[in-house]
Amino acid sequence: MITGGLGFIGSNLARRLVAAGVEVTLVDSLVPEYGGNMFNIAGIEDQVVVNISDIRDRYSMAYLVRDKDLLFNLAGQTSHMDAMADPYTDLEINCRAQLSILEACREANPEIKTIFASTRQLYGQPEYLPVDENHPLQPVDVNAINKLAGEQYHILYNNVYGIRTTVFRLTNTYGPRMRVKDARQTFLGVWIRCVTENVPFEVWGGTQLRDFTYVDDAVEAMVLAATCNASDGKIFNLGGDCSIDLRSLADLLTELSGSGRYEVREYPKERKAIEIGDYYADFSLAESSLGWTPSIPLAKGLKKTLSFYREFLPHYI
């Protein structure tokens, strides 16, 4: 079962699992502000069970987790700005609902294994680079605090109740089926939309370093964790093959696309207040424990993403 299964990462994971012959149930609320999209499962819609439910509904969740072997728990509110504007919805989805999903597992299916999608945002402004899993946790926004609670509930239920869990702290993840309508999922979505439509986009700041994981690599990490007991109770960073400043990323994107242009401007004030500065991950623990390494270099991943949106953009705007 994949919560958030009609979203960006969830639907790519669903494709990977269906190809491997796994029986897959997708649970998603399809709230328009989030990344869920029926087109994300075009071509596999007859090979998955889709249940339009909200993870905040604990009775639905209690029913749905009963007979599953694996739970990929990916449903989330992803926008940092929305979490600041409406902290209670973020709390309900990223924190409270996570607890009730785990309670449902404890009551109805303690044998299930869960994989939780957490975020690098909870490290806040890095004190050193690359950031490893032992870096202090100093969230700079409401979303990161709620995601931190969500992941820690998973670890607690692993340790106290033996409900096996692996947590991934994802960095910027990109690829086909990401949300490009606006910046709610990531700024890169808007950039990709703009270069595809050949209209200008804005780069805020521009010198900050980031790393990027191609979605197939993120999915592979989750599959590796799902099939290995050594990952139980562990937290892993994911990362990318390189770190890059945002201005260079914008140059690379426009060069690969052969279209689009950008302007550099100051961060808007409200965004600057929750900005983390430079970040890139040390993912050596995932390498040594899971045998995971990012396999798609940034330029190749961006090319694949651009070619997807050149073909399918109307389904995403």
Ligand X SMILES: NC(=O)c1ccc[n+]([C@@H]2O[C@H](COP(=O)([O-])OP(=O)(O)OC[C@H]3O[C@@H](n4cnc5c(N)ncnc54)[C@H](O)[C@@H]3O)[C@@H](O)[C@H]2O)c1
Q: Which is nearer to ligand X, 149 or 259 (CB)?
A: 149
User: How close are the terminal C-alpha atoms of the chain, in Å?
Assistant: 27
Binding flags for ligand X, 273-312, as an x/- string (CB under 6 A) = ----------------------------------------
Minimal distance in Å, beta carbon 258 to ligand X? Answer: 25
Which of 16, 18, 22, 30 is the binder for ligand X (CB under 6 A)?
A: 30
Minimal distance in Å, beta carbon 276 to ligand X? Answer: 12
Question: What does DSSP say about strands 209-214 and 172-174: parallel, antiparallel, or unpaired?
Answer: parallel
Minimal distance in Å, beta carbon 202 to ligand X? Answer: 19
User: Which span sits near ligand X by CB under 6 A: 151-159, 179-187, 246-254, 286-294?
Assistant: 179-187
User: What one-letter code names the amino acid at 112?
Assistant: I
Answer for the pair 74, 4: CB distance below 8 angstroms, yes or no. yes
Among positions 84-143, residues that touch ligand X (CB under 6 A) are 93, 117, 119
Measured between alpha carbons, how far is 303 from 307 in angstroms, rounded to an integer? 6
Which of 17, 24, 26, 29 is the binder for ligand X (CB under 6 A)?
A: 29
Q: Which is nearer to ligand X, 119 or 165 (CB)?
A: 119
User: Which span sits near ligand X by CB under 6 A: 31-39, 103-111, 158-166, 252-260?
Assistant: 31-39
Minimal distance in Å, beta carbon 182 to ligand X? Answer: 11
Q: Which of helix, strand or coil describes residue 16?
A: helix
Distances (CA, A) of 84 to 217, 219, 244: 30, 29, 27
Q: Which is nearer to ligand X, 31 or 242 (CB)?
A: 31
Q: Work out whether 78 is an interface residue with ligand X (CB under 6 A).
A: yes
* Nearest of 127, 141, 162, 39 to residue 82 by alpha carbon: 141
Q: Which is nearer to ligand X, 10 or 301 (CB)?
A: 10
SS (H, E, C) 77-107: CCCHHHHHHCHHHHHHHHHHHHHHHHHHHHH
How many contiguous H segments (helices) and E segments (strands) does the chain have?
12, 12
* Nearest of 118, 111, 72 to residue 95 by alpha carbon: 118
User: Which span sits near ligand X by CB under 6 A: 80-88, 171-179, 271-279, 291-299?
Assistant: 171-179
Could you give the maximum distance between any two Cα atoms of the chain, in Å?
A: 55
Among positions 196-255, residues that touch ligand X (CB under 6 A) are none
Measured between alpha carbons, how far is 262 from 254 in angstroms, rounded to an integer? 9
User: Which span sits near ligand X by CB under 6 A: 53-61, 100-108, 240-248, 302-310?
Assistant: 53-61
User: Which span sits near ligand X by CB under 6 A: 30-38, 101-109, 154-162, 300-308?
Assistant: 30-38
Dihedral of alpha carbons 87, 174, 187, 249, sign: positive
Binding site for ligand X (CB under 6 A): 3-4, 6-10, 28-31, 34-36, 54-56, 74-78, 93, 117, 119, 170, 172-173, 179, 185-186
